[in-house]
A and B are shown apart, each in its own frame.
Chain A
Amino acid sequence: MTTALPEDRLWHLFEMMLLMRRFEESVVKMNVENHFTGHYHLYIGQEATGAAAIAQLEARDTITATHRNHGHVIARGAEPGPALAEIMGRAGGLSLGRGGTIHLSDPALGFLSTSGVVGGSISLGAGGAFARKMKKDGSVHMACFGDSALEEGVAYEALNISSLWKLPIVLLCENNSADAWDKSRGGYTSLVHAANDLRSIPGAMGIPSIRIDGTEVDEVHAAVAEAIAHCRSGKGPMFIEAMTRRWAGSAPLWPELSTGVTDLKMATGEAPMSGEHKAWYEENDPVLKLARRLLKTSPQAKDRMWELDRKAIARMQAAEKFAIDSPMPAPQTALEHVFA
């Protein structure tokens, strides 16, 4: 049984998870209002994993992630305004509109890359870890990727090398395919993985591998703390499979806020949880789950929760304004930065 995190830590993580959630809701709003076009992927449902994992990294540590990266970038401390502006292709964006949603990134925060070709998080991550190891300062790399990254050959090769060379890489596999599971096969989608247990893949290469509930901040926190300590002490990589249930809004080809704008009254009991997403609200939404838990801590918790939500919403309103007011980049700048 995982030890429960102290209350102040829980509040800190909750504040970040709320911001991550409100950020994604803003992304959808901006798209629906035609402030940008193009496809995008949302991190809704995985906030507990990203917040509790990335909160434990130090400034010197590095990260790679995939196309589902908004949550990681916000959790690492990117300003929501420039992050949103990047997704909208604006001059005020983190990369001046050159990368967009799939490549939302900020090298100043230790992001090496966010890539839509998902195995790259592991291969480039192994390179990041190799560089960390050469520093001999105990710093680590965290590679965030989904279950689908393990369908790509480059992942296998990079896992093998990481283990051979004892690279300090935390392999954070966010398995968000819970609804696609075939329970009779040990919980994996039979269409794309022959392995009955993803842990067996790094396991076969001698990489310690554990599975946790990715919606429980304590479990994520404990697992990542162990993995980081393992890496910092020079023992090589560690693999964590954080399980989350597939958020319904990711099911259509184009994402939609199918579960609505998150209503914390569903945590306080002041709003009903019904309809086709009842189970999501009650059991799977990590933000509502942590809110319910915090509400039990003290009579003042409710006011504190609403205060944090007002703060997150106000930050996102400012971020939306920043992004909308930010001009499109000057066309000629497209020719810059091909080379040094």
Chain B
Amino acid sequence: MAEPRILTYREAVLEALFEEMRANADVVVIGEDVAAAGGVFKQTEGLFAEFGANRVIDTPISEPGAFGMAVGAAMSGLRPVFEVMFGDFMTLVMDQLVNQAAKVRYMSNGTAKVPLVLRTTMGLGANLGPQHSQSFHAWAAHVPGLKIAIPSTPADAKGLWKAAIRDDDPVLIFEDRLLYTMKGDIPAGDHVLPLGQARIVREGRDVTLIAIGRMVEFAQAAAKLLADEGIEVEIIDPRTLVPFDTKTVIDSVKRTHRALVIDGAPRAYGVTGEIAATIAEEAFDWLDAPVGRLAGSNTPVPFSRSLEKLARPDAKTIAQHVRAVLG
């Protein structure tokens, strides 16, 4: 068994892909520039060399057709990993995803299945403008029949990826591009995480922060700032939105009596509202303050650096909101 090692987020995902593709010949990778090019973020580098053109497949810029094909292939025995290069292009596959992939198991009374992984990006911060910076995890989570994973560390990425590939339902994995270079320890052996198990990132007595994706990193930075002021925050990364680990979140809030939910996507009708409502329903009597919410601005993501900053939370704004929740 291998020793724990330090890998980048990108390398951790690749390791999961290599392991699962070696273990199961039904796993195929399909997407734009994923084959010889190795992905525009080098996120599929080396797969083509080992597994060849039959299992690592480039498509034209034809997301709806190619993704619909992946859904059909999944119903027919393969385990496709389909890559949507930018989260923004989820818009193109929504018909095949929502009306087909998400409905198959239910409509067939559980007799048919769609074991596929849809991988895409989320998050802003790279000056890519309104059509290349969006985060659609909340949109997808609103559709019954889709599982949603959002890994925030290399270890979680590897574990969630392996679980997603082995899962018999469609699993969407959202990755913040700016996490690809993050380094972290990778547990030895066959590291598979169950879908639906939150991680307590940091323990603290004063307030529970529920943070999604890269917001976990910002929440950790905010925790350091706040610790200097004597405020100890607990940080929880749900890791999957569907299924959602309500128990870990509620147990934490019952200890701290306060909560702040943080997401990088626009706030309106987003995941912070859903999680805050769940806390209000299940831990109302334990709360000492209204549940706080911090999310991206309800605007398209602007191109300019100075404007982009305002469009999503960072450590400073998280710390401000924690102070507000503490009153």
Decide whether A and B are members of one complex.
yes
A residues lining the B interface (CB < 8 Å): 36-39, 89-90, 93, 96-103, 115-119, 148, 151-153, 191-193, 253, 328-335, 338
CB–CB B128/A98 < 8 A? no
B61 within 8 A of partner (CB): yes
CB–CB A99/B129 < 8 A? yes
CB–CB B129/A103 < 8 A? yes
Measured in the bound complex, the distance between the Cα atoms of B74 and A239 in whole Å is: 38
CB–CB A335/B297 < 8 A? yes
- Which residue of A118, A151, A329 contacts B307 across the interface (Cβ within 8 Å)? A329
CB–CB A334/B89 < 8 A? no
- Which residue of A39, A115, A192, A333 contacts B131 across the interface (Cβ within 8 Å)? A115
CB–CB A118/B61 < 8 A? yes
Q: In the assembled complex, which residues on chain B have CB atoms less than 8 Å from the CB atom of A97?
A: 302-304, 306-307
CB–CB A100/B129 < 8 A? yes
CB–CB B307/A334 < 8 A? yes
23 CB-based A-B contacts, threshold 8 Å: A36-B305, A38-B126, A38-B128, A89-B304, A93-B304, A96-B304, A97-B303, A97-B304, A97-B306, A98-B304, A99-B130, A102-B128, A102-B132, A103-B131, A117-B88, A117-B131, A151-B60, A151-B61, A151-B62, A192-B60, A334-B311, A335-B297, A338-B298
B193 within 8 A of partner (CB): no
Q: Which residue of A lies closest to B129 (CB)?
A: A100
CB–CB A333/B65 < 8 A? no
B58 within 8 A of partner (CB): yes
Q: A118-B61, A153-B62, A331-B310 are in contact. Are A90 and B304 (CB under 8 A)?
A: yes
CB–CB A89/B64 < 8 A? no
Instruction: Give B49-85 as 1s and 0s: 1 = Cβ < 8 Å from A's Cβ atoms.
Output: 0000000001011111100000000000000000000
B309 within 8 A of partner (CB): yes
Q: Which residue of A lies closest to B309 (CB)?
A: A331
CB–CB B40/A253 < 8 A? yes
Q: In the assembled complex, which residues on chain A have CB atoms less than 8 Å from the CB atom of B303?
A: 38, 89, 97-103
Q: A89-B127, A103-B131, A117-B92 are in contact. Are A193 and B60 (CB under 8 A)?
A: yes
Measured in the bound complex, the distance between the Cα atoms of B128 and A101 in whole Å is: 9
CB–CB B306/A153 < 8 A? no
Give chain A nearest CB distance to B4 CB in angstroms. Answer: 32
Q: Which 5 A-B pairs have the closest CB atoms?
A: A100-B303, A97-B304, A38-B127, A89-B304, A328-B306
Give chain B nearest CB distance to A116 CB in angstroms. Answer: 5
CB–CB A98/B130 < 8 A? yes
B99-127 CB contacts (< 8 Å) to partner A: 126-127
CB–CB A37/B305 < 8 A? yes
Q: In the assembled complex, which residues on chain A have CB atoms less than 8 Å from the CB atom of B129?
A: 38, 99-103, 116
Q: Which residue of B lies closest to A327 (CB)?
A: B306
Q: In the assembled complex, which residues on chain B have CB atoms less than 8 Å from the CB atom of A99?
A: 129-130, 303
CB–CB A333/B58 < 8 A? no
Instruction: Give B284-327 as 1s and 0s: 1 = Cβ < 8 Å from A's Cβ atoms.
Output: 00000000000001111011111111110000000000000000
Q: In the assembled complex, which residues on chain A have CB atoms less than 8 Å from the CB atom of B300?
A: 98, 338
CB–CB A98/B60 < 8 A? no
CB–CB A116/B132 < 8 A? yes
Q: A98-B130, A103-B129 are in contact. Are A328 and B304 (CB under 8 A)?
A: yes
SS class of chain B's interface: helix, strand, loop or mixed? Answer: loop
Size category of the binding interface on chain B: 20 to 34
CB–CB A153/B305 < 8 A? no
Q: In the assembled complex, which residues on chain A have CB atoms less than 8 Å from the CB atom of B306?
A: 89, 97, 328-331
Q: Which residue of A lies closest to B62 (CB)?
A: A151
Give chain B nearest CB distance to A330 CB in angstroms. Answer: 7
Q: Which residue of B lies closest to A117 (CB)?
A: B131
Q: In the assembled complex, which residues on chain B have CB atoms less than 8 Å from the CB atom of A334?
A: 297, 299, 302, 307-308, 310-311
Measured in the bound complex, the distance between the Cα atoms of B311 and A89 in whole Å is: 15
Give chain B nearest CB distance to A268 CB in angstroms. Answer: 40
Measured in the bound complex, the distance between the Cα atoms of B61 and A191 in whole Å is: 11
CB–CB B127/A36 < 8 A? yes
Give chain B nearest CB distance to A174 CB in angstroms. Answer: 15
Measured in the bound complex, the distance between the Cα atoms of B306 and A36 in whole Å is: 11
Q: In the assembled complex, which residues on chain B have CB atoms less than 8 Å from the CB atom of A330?
A: 306
Measured in the bound complex, the distance between the Cα atoms of B130 and A98 in whole Å is: 8
CB–CB B62/A152 < 8 A? yes
Measured in the bound complex, the distance between the Cα atoms of B40 and A265 in whole Å is: 37
Give chain A nearest CB distance to B231 CB in angstroms. Answer: 26
Q: Which residue of B lies closest to A38 (CB)?
A: B127
Interface centre among B128, B129, B304, B311 (most CB of A within 10 A): B304
Q: In the assembled complex, which residues on chain A have CB atoms less than 8 Å from the CB atom of B126?
A: 37-38
Give chain B nearest CB distance to A242 CB in angstroms. Answer: 19
CB–CB A153/B299 < 8 A? no
Give chain B nearest CB distance to A26 CB in angstroms. Answer: 18
Measured in the bound complex, the distance between the Cα atoms of B308 and A89 in whole Å is: 10
B128-172 CB contacts (< 8 Å) to partner A: 128-132
Q: In the assembled complex, which residues on chain A have CB atoms less than 8 Å from the CB atom of B309?
A: 331
CB–CB A148/B61 < 8 A? yes
Q: In the assembled complex, which residues on chain B have CB atoms less than 8 Å from the CB atom of A148?
A: 60-61
Measured in the bound complex, the distance between the Cα atoms of B309 and A192 in whole Å is: 37
Measured in the bound complex, the distance between the Cα atoms of B132 and A101 in whole Å is: 12
Give chain B nearest CB distance to A122 CB in angstroms. Answer: 13
Q: Which residue of A lies closest to B58 (CB)?
A: A191
Q: Which residue of B lies closest to A337 (CB)?
A: B299
Measured in the bound complex, the distance between the Cα atoms of B92 and A152 in whole Å is: 10
